[in-house]
Amino acid sequence: MPTVILTATVRPQAETRLAVTDPAVRTAEYQRALRRWVQLAGDWPDLRLVLAENSGADLADLTRGLPPSDRLLLVPVPPPHAAVVTRGKGACEADLLEAVLPRIPGADAGDLILKCTGRLFVPNLRRVLPDNRDPRAVVVRATVDLSYVDARLVGATRAGWLHTLTGMAAEVDESSDRWLEHVLARRLALALASGTTVHRFHSPPRYSGRSGTHGGDYGKGRRLRAVLAKPLEAALRGPLSIKQF
């Protein structure tokens, strides 16, 4: 049973690399994405959604106008401490994940738990998930040399999160160009070296929504990029191996 944690920060504490900071604009973008996630969950009986927000915003504002859903869990998370905020928005998101993971009910150790940036929607999520997973598996989209991991969508079993992806906030330092994407890459390299299975997504995730970092719309130009990247995508499918780097 997959669970998707939608991370939300209506009022950003850290504004490094942020193009979208207006709380009203961010709220509207969260609402648009959440509506599509709830629609997807309505057609996918096994899918569960967790909306986690860490700036003290009223979660009722984010869900206003949505039909009732027993598939959506709302989790308010305390704002990060100042020491975390100084490390940047990636550290704040890692801190949020650390707080919300123990509060997800009913997930077995081998169930896949995904983290997705809450203002984005992944319309092809069904095709993205790998068919088979190790009990401590991590599922990512990364460069072949594992120097960089796409942090918009990251998945792991509960055991995988606890074994590989906890404590990342303390390792992020955006003022020193140490982003969450780089911390994820380092964690996965260490995990591979210790025998953990790291899967790539079965298909490249497609994103709908606007980047909070550069403000661009992820939907524009998608078809052309997909055609140009097709040979590379074929090489990127399947589990990662320590032999690749």
Q: What is the pTM of this model?
A: 0.89
Rounded CA separation 80/94 (Å):
10
pLDDT of residue 67: 87
Range name among 69-83, 147-161, 205-219 with the lowest pLDDT average: 205-219
Q: What is the arithmetic mean of pLDDT over 127-133?
A: 82
Listed residue (87, 88, 17, 23) closest to 53, CA to CA: 23
**In the chain, pLDDT over 90 holds for what percent of residues?**
63
166 pLDDT more than 50: yes
Q: What is the arithmetic mean of pLDDT over 8-21?
A: 86
Taken in order of first residue, the domains within the chain and their CATH numbers are: 3-244 (3.90.550.10)
Plot region of 161 (φ>0 → left; ψ -120 to 50 → alpha; else → beta): alpha
Rounded CA separation 24/10 (Å):
8
Listed residue (162, 147, 130) closest to 239, CA to CA: 130
